[in-house]
Structure formats: structure tokens, C-alpha cells
Chains A and B, each alone.
Chain A
Amino acid sequence: MNANTEIYSLTVNGKSHQVKDSWVGESLLYVLRERLGLPGSKGACEQGECGSCTVIMDGDAVCSCLVMAATAIDADIRTVEDLASDGVLTEVQQAFITEGGVQCGFCTPGLVVAIEHLLSKNPEPSEIEIKEAISGNICRCTGYGRIFEAVDKAITVRKVNRT
């Protein structure tokens, strides 16, 4: 694919990345995964229905499969790879592990990003607010029960850690 290419740069996880030789039709998800070496965001529907590709763009949770990468040149993009720092997992990540929120794990990165985003805006959401916030993230394995447990645990631990 050499036609219609242009070099542009994207700011992902605080770092500037040059995107070269790309086709302008590529989604942000494709560029993250295939060009920038950030395969943590997953693709499962290409329609913004499943949330597996959720990233934070200028503070909003978005489906990166629906964003054309070349339109994101001025945005601050944060992916699942940005969450743990120096191998220290966030409370949400840790709670997914201990509460059984992970099975096949394909939905997990998107869910973790969506929940981090929720808790950053609303540290003590109600049950229905949690369900609404993650209703755009499909999980086919868990039936969500252990994921709800993980969110509850993360909220509790976060509260202790941050007071």
C-alpha cells in the first residue's frame, strides 16, 4: 500500500510517534497495533459495539476502531499499556486478577481502560452507574459477575490508597 500516504505523528502515552508509509484510511486501532507496537488494544467488532479497543483520547473513552488515526494528530492518546507504571499494576488491574475478572482476557484491556476512566471521573459510582459505564464493553466469558466484584474491590482499595 503506497498510495495516498503521508507522514504524521501521534502522541500516545505521552510519547510522540512518527507514522510512516501508512494508508490514510487506517483506524487508530490498526495504527496502534500494527505500526506503533502497541497491541494491547484489541479489535473484535470494528463497529464500536464491543469496547475491546477502548482508549482514552483527550480524556474521553473512545473506541479506537472508529477513530481514523490521521484525525488524531493533535490528541493525547492513552492506551492500556500506559496504566501500570514500572510493573506496578493499578488497583483495577490488580482487582481483575484477584477477583476472577479475567478468563480468555480478550475484552480485559478495553474493560480495564473503561473502568479506570469511570473511576477517574467518579471514584464511588453506584451499581447502576458501573453497569452503564461498562455496558459498551462486551465480555463473552464471565457473565460479568466477577467483573462487578473486581470493580467493587478496586473502588474500596482505591479509596484506602488515596486517603
Chain B
Amino acid sequence: MSSAVDTSTRRDILGASAIRPDSSAKVQGKFEFSSDLHAENMLWGATLRSPHPYARIIRIDLSAAYKITGVEAIITAEDVPGKKTYGLISSDQPVFAQDYVRYVGEPIAAVAADHPETCRRALAAIKVVYEILEPLTDGDLATLPSTPAIHPDGNVIRRQQIITGDQNLQGEIVVEGTYEIGMQDQAFLGLEAALAIPDSGGKGIEMFVATQWLHEDQKQIAACLDFECENVRLTLGGVGGAFGAREDISLQVHCALLALRTSRPIKMQYGREESFYGHVHRHPAKISIRHHATREGEILRIEARLVFDGGAYASTSSAVLINGITHIQGPYRCPNATIDGYAVRTNNPPCGAMRGFGVVQACFAHESQMDKLAAACGLSPVEIRLRNAMVTGDKLITGQIIESVAPVARCIRETDAIELPEPLAESANQLEFVGGSGLTSLPQNIVRGVGWGVSIKNLMYSETFDDFATARCQLKDGVATLKFATVEVGQGFVVLAPQIARSVLGVDDVVLDTVDTGIGSAGSTSASRQTWMSGGAVDGACRLVRQRLFEHVGKKYNIDPLRLVIEDTDVVDMIGDFRISVVEASSGVLIDETFEHHHRPTEELDENGQGNCHVAFAFVAHRAVVDVDVELGLVKVIQIATAQDVGRVLNPIAALGQIEGGIAQGLGLAVMEEIVLDNGKMRNPSFTDYLLPTALDAPSVVAVMIEEPEPQAPLGAKGIGEPPCISVTPAIAAAIRNATGKELSRVPVRPQDICF
């Protein structure tokens, strides 16, 4: 259910539930994912990984592996011709470990062979002699200067404080807590895969990869190969989900090096276990936080210490940290703050981007606190949030003024207005009970609970990053052809881009050109940014083409081009009676325009954490209803009610899909998803042991989309990808607290947390 109803627009323009152009191929199994690619004379590549969280490599012996029939090449750190390291913000991660391994799963060597099984046997035959070292696996310990550094860059990746207002203020009401968030995996279904085809002279390479950002991959791969960027040509291979995990390089450089070494095409594809080792995860975090407030519940000051465990290499940890500390106030006014944040290096698996990017962790802490504050003030969870809800024009703890549309109170009220589900009937099918097909729960042990979560999320990249997007539009004979390097990971830009072109140009036929590095960057498909950024670029390119079309028509028919507008599929004189179809108007001419969309500039935070570091913000409220078997510690999420600040709905069915999908991921973090670590080693790197929400776990989702167009956004629409997964996690945790009376300061909430 949604408030944004498709107003039965006939044409697939903005606002219509247009059909994805890739969906027909996808339902038939004909869509080509990167793992489906093949080339003549192709070899398979595979990676040898460290079994130790921290060790010194004494010797690598490849001789036995080379003796296996079918093995064509084995490469290690010494075979990397260019830069030996890579990384998104700082280049600190070795392509292959050279002297030390710093996490379980760190690449040491790669093999090319005639069959995946030959690769596996060759990897097993490589002998590595290690000196095993004591790993650093405690994030708090990593913040201490006395802890020995595990990397030449030190253990503290970034420390940032936010100091504003009265540093000694004490509230009449003080509530505090320490909250922990476990390590979550993106768990996209389409495993990492790439095909690399070397140029015949070995001076260049063509790659088909599943990534989130072609140009960033290109830059990092080229540096490691010691090639010019233009000699590393990337084309997007079909991407089976991403959620942040494809922002970093995984197998790209290894695959390219093997192809260049063997002069043959190389296909690399991770299995599920290797995928857990091969990509970054959501940072586990520990957040200690104290709220000072008046008796009426008005927040006066927040003190907080946040530690994000970045694992062995930096990835995007420094940006994740900034998101965490700058969102720790939540969508609430707060005049005084004392915040100290660390992103640290440990011998745990590397962490980086995942949907919500640092805000998920902060939100669990601030929303848990809001409920404590409500209880201390004798207010309801809704009332405490409404009393503190921020509005446009409010100042954040960073000093930045919220210029975005900020319908926080409206999100809360509209969520509150959604009808609660019926109580569980005693006569219900037992499969409907907590525990599902296990048929384990007795009705008298099931307790229902309700909980709230509300969040604020920044959109686009922050702290001076100019993550622009480029698009090209060509119009000829009524057909618009769009070219961009915007990565489709499943979110639906492939349906949105033609909708924009149809709306702006009055065409019906829109062709999407290949997504590759043959055009300028589109930035990453992350940070809820592509509708705004690449949507803005497509919109801009189409508007330039439209202007040229009007000039052409004006000249040909002797009308002032400024009088021309597009009406449906016609070019129309708005004050005369001239009308011509766009197909006819563009007949025989080729209009070709390229546009770069840049968001407004942002600033770095100063030493007190002050600065206009973010571009814009979106808001959302969630209310969770759960059934808990208090004896067995099992939880079933019955309903999630939500109202989300979306700016403007451009494709209702796609928007709803983002909201429902995000909620499922937030549900996963709340009650089941965690990479369990034991002294740096993953205990559950498989879908048997890392639990994901199934159809039986999916709650009823009742969603309201709040449309208050965002003036800054090119299409009035805010990014909608991340907010759904952020405050749903604390809402579910709060609902379990409501049902059980337990404090539950850690997610995921496990059965033992409820029972004991």
C-alpha cells in the first residue's frame, strides 16, 4: 500500500510505474550477469587467501602447484608491475600480501588454469610458511596509542571530534547506554565475477566487471597495472545486487594481471565463502552515549564516544566514521554536543560501505536512547520524538543548517496513523506463530511488542568530494539514445533514465547505450545518489537537446524558440497554434549533448567537527510490531509501518521496492544477520550459517511516501535507497524490548539475549 498511486499515466514518463527494460530478460534467465560471461580460449582464475588473521610471510613455494597439468600461471606480490596497493580513500591494501597478512582471507597469490577444479587443486598445492603473530581484534584496544601498530599507517584510521556549545551542561534528566552493532554482510546474490581480455600487444586490457563505480575501478586497476587509464577499458557486467560491497576492488586487479600474464581471457568468480572474505562489510561499532534533557524531554546535550572497527584496511572507514558522528543526534534538535569518534584498524575482516554507511550504527544508539529518555520523562515514544523533531532551518551539531525539506514530524505522525495489525488469533495456523515451520511456539508464550525508530540520512558524498555524474543524450528521428556510466545494481536507474528522457523530450522510444568507461564518470551507485546525480545528468543532457530542438524547429518554421514547449509527444507553440510531433521535428537531424551534474560544494570538518560537510538529507520513520516467544527467544516481525520523506515519487512501484527491500535488510540486522568472529576468524561464512530473511520472515509493510519536492534536487526527488534500512533496526529492537522488558543494547538481538 502506498500513498503515491500511479495516476494511470499512459506514457512511461516520470511518475508512472514504468516497466524495467531488463525485466523480461531477467525472468527468462537471459540477462547476462558478469558470472555468465565467456570468451574463446578462456582460463579460470582463483585466489589463495590467508588462513591467519595476523602473520608474517616467511616463504611462498609455488613449485608443486606449477607441476599440476592445466595450471598456466601463478602470480604473487612481486608480479604486480605498478602500485602494489589499492584503496578507495587511502591506498593501503596490498594487491597481494607481501610481508604480512593482516586478516583471514587476505589474498596472497592467484592462479590461472583450465578448470575451476584445477585452480582449487593448484591453490591447495601452494605452500606458504608463516610466522603467526598475535592478532589485534578489539576495536577499543586499537584506539590506544600504547597498542602496537599492525600496519605502517597506524591503528587509528581517523579520529574526529565534534565539540559545540556548553561542554559542561548537565540536564535535569540524564540517560545513557553503551550500544553495540554486529558486523553485517551485504550478501548480494550475484557473486563477484569478472572477465578480462588482454589486448593482443599486452598494452591494454578490456574488462567486464560487476562493480558500483566503473571509473573508480578503472583508476585503481590502471595504477596497479602501471597502465594509462585509457588502456583499461571497463564495461559493466550484469550486477546481481551490491549494497556497498562492490564499491571496493575485489578480484579486478588479480583478474587483469592473470590475463596479461597468460595473454588469454581470464574469468574469475568467487564462491559464497570466498565472497565473505573478498568484500568489505558493515562496520561493527560500539557507541557509548549520554543524553541530557529537561524534564519535559527537550534534548539539551549529547555526549558520545563511537568506535568503528574498520578491520585490516581503511576502505571507506574515514567517511563511515564522519557519517556516524554527524548523525549521532538523529533527526532531533540538539544545541550542545561532545562527540569523540574513532575508525580503527584491527586484524578483523576489512569493513567499508554498506547501505546506510555509518548512520545505521548511530541510529541504533540514538533511537535506543530516545526510548530511555521517553521513559525517564514519562512520555510516549511518539511524543518524545515529536517534541525534538528537527525542521528545515535547524542547526546541526556540526553547525550546518538543514536546508533540505525536513518533514520529520510528518513522517512520525503519518506512521502513527497507520493501523496496527490485529492481535495474533489463538486459532491462527501454527505456521503463523513465531518459529514458523518449526512449530515450536505455544500461544501462551507469545508476547506482542511495538517499537519506534526515526532517522536522518545524508545524501551523496560529503566533505568536499565532487562526486559528479555525466550523461549524453542523442536525439534523431524521434529516438533518444542515452549514454552514461551509471551502474545498475538492481535499483532501477535503467527504468528511470528513459522516464526522464520521455518527460523532457516528448519521445517514446529511448535506447540505452552500453554502460562503460567510454564516457565521463557517473560516480558510484551508492549514498542514495544516482536518482539525484545521474538523474540530474540525464535531465540536464535532455534539456540541452530539447533547447537545440526548439532552435531547429524555430528556425525552420520561423517561430521564436522561446515560445516552444513539449506537450505529450509534440512540440507546441504555447501562444500560437503551431504543433508538430517530436518525431517529425527531429527527423533527419542529429542533436547530441553531454551534461555533467555536480552537487553543491561541501566542506571538511574542522578540528571541532564544524563545517557544512553534507549535501542534503532525507528522513524516515518506522514503527515495528513483533511477536516474541519469551521462552524460546524467537522473534517474528509482524508489521513495519513507515512514512518516508522521498521528495517526489518518480516510479511508484520501484520506490516501493526500494522501501520493502531496505526494510528486509534492516530486519536482518535486527534479529538474525551477523558475521560471527572468533579471534579474527569468521565462524559463519556461508548462507547455511549466515542467516538472511526469507519469504517467511518478511513482515507486512505498510508504506506512506511523503512527497514534498526537494528544491535542491534536479527532479525534486531525494534518494530513497538507504533510509528504509536505517531506523527499522532500532524500531524492531525497541519492539522486542517492549515485549520482553529486556534492555537489549546490542543488535542483532539473539535468542539468548531474550531468554537469559
Contact = CB atoms under 8 A, between A and B. Distances in A.
B24 A97 contact: yes
Given A99-B653, A104-B239, A146-B657, A25 B117 contact: yes
Interface string B115-158: 11110000000000000000000000000000000000000000
Interface in B215-249: 238-241, 243
A50 interface: yes
Contact of B189 (A23, A47, A104): A104
Contacts of A108: 26-27
A89 interface: yes
Contacts of A38: 29
Contact of A143 (B28, B664, B688): B664
Nearest to A133: B695
A79 B29 CA distance: 9
Contacts of B29: 38-42, 79-81, 109
A98 B20 CA distance: 9
Nearest to B116: A30
A64 interface: no
Interface stretch (B487-495, B712-720, B729-737): B487-495
A84 to B, nearest CB: 5
Question: Which label, helix, strand, loop or mixed, suits the secondary structure of the B interface?
Answer: loop
Interface string A84-109: 10000100011011111011111111
Interface in A89-136: 89, 93-94, 96-100, 102-109, 112, 128, 130-132, 134-136
B450 to A, nearest CB: 20
Interface string B655-694: 0110011111100000000000000000000111000111
B661 A141 contact: yes
A76 interface: no
A10 interface: no
Nearest to B691: A49
A144 B698 contact: yes
A135 B695 contact: yes
Question: What 8 A-B pairs have minimum CB-CB distances, sorted nearest first?
Answer: A40-B29, A104-B490, A106-B240, A105-B26, A143-B664, A143-B660, A49-B687, A145-B660
A7 interface: no
Interface stretch (B171-179, B429-437, B440-448, B532-540): B429-437
Nearest to B491: A103
Contacts of B660: 142-146
B28 to A, nearest CB: 5
Interface in A43-69: 43-47, 49-50, 52
Contacts, number: 186
Contacts of A109: 26-29
Given A105-B26, A105-B240, A1 B688 contact: no
B49 to A, nearest CB: 17
B8 interface: no
A144 B189 contact: no
B587 interface: no
24 contacts: A1-B70, A1-B115, A1-B117, A1-B118, A40-B29, A42-B240, A44-B189, A45-B687, A47-B688, A50-B687, A52-B189, A89-B27, A93-B28, A94-B27, A100-B653, A102-B27, A104-B188, A106-B33, A108-B27, A109-B28, A140-B692, A143-B693, A145-B657, A148-B695
A70 interface: no
Contacts of A128: 429, 431-432
B742 interface: no
A141 B687 contact: no
B701 interface: yes
B490 A105 contact: yes
A44 B272 contact: yes
Nearest to A38: B29
A136 B489 CA distance: 23
Interface residues of B, number: 64
A43 B437 CA distance: 26
Nearest to B267: A34
A148 B695 CA distance: 9
A162 B229 CA distance: 57
A97 B19 contact: yes
Contacts of A79: 29
B26 A45 contact: no
Contacts of B33: 42, 106
Contact of A103 (B118, B186, B490, B686): B490
A138 interface: yes
A132 to B, nearest CB: 7
Given A97-B23, A100-B17, A146 B656 contact: yes
Contacts of A139: 189, 695
Given A45-B272, A141-B490, A97 B240 contact: no
Interface string B26-37: 111111110110
Contact of A112 (B17, B27, B489): B27
B190 A42 contact: yes
A24 B213 CA distance: 39
A19 interface: no
A132 B696 contact: yes
B698 A143 contact: yes
B686 A23 contact: no
A104 to B, nearest CB: 3
B687 A93 contact: no
B420 to A, nearest CB: 19
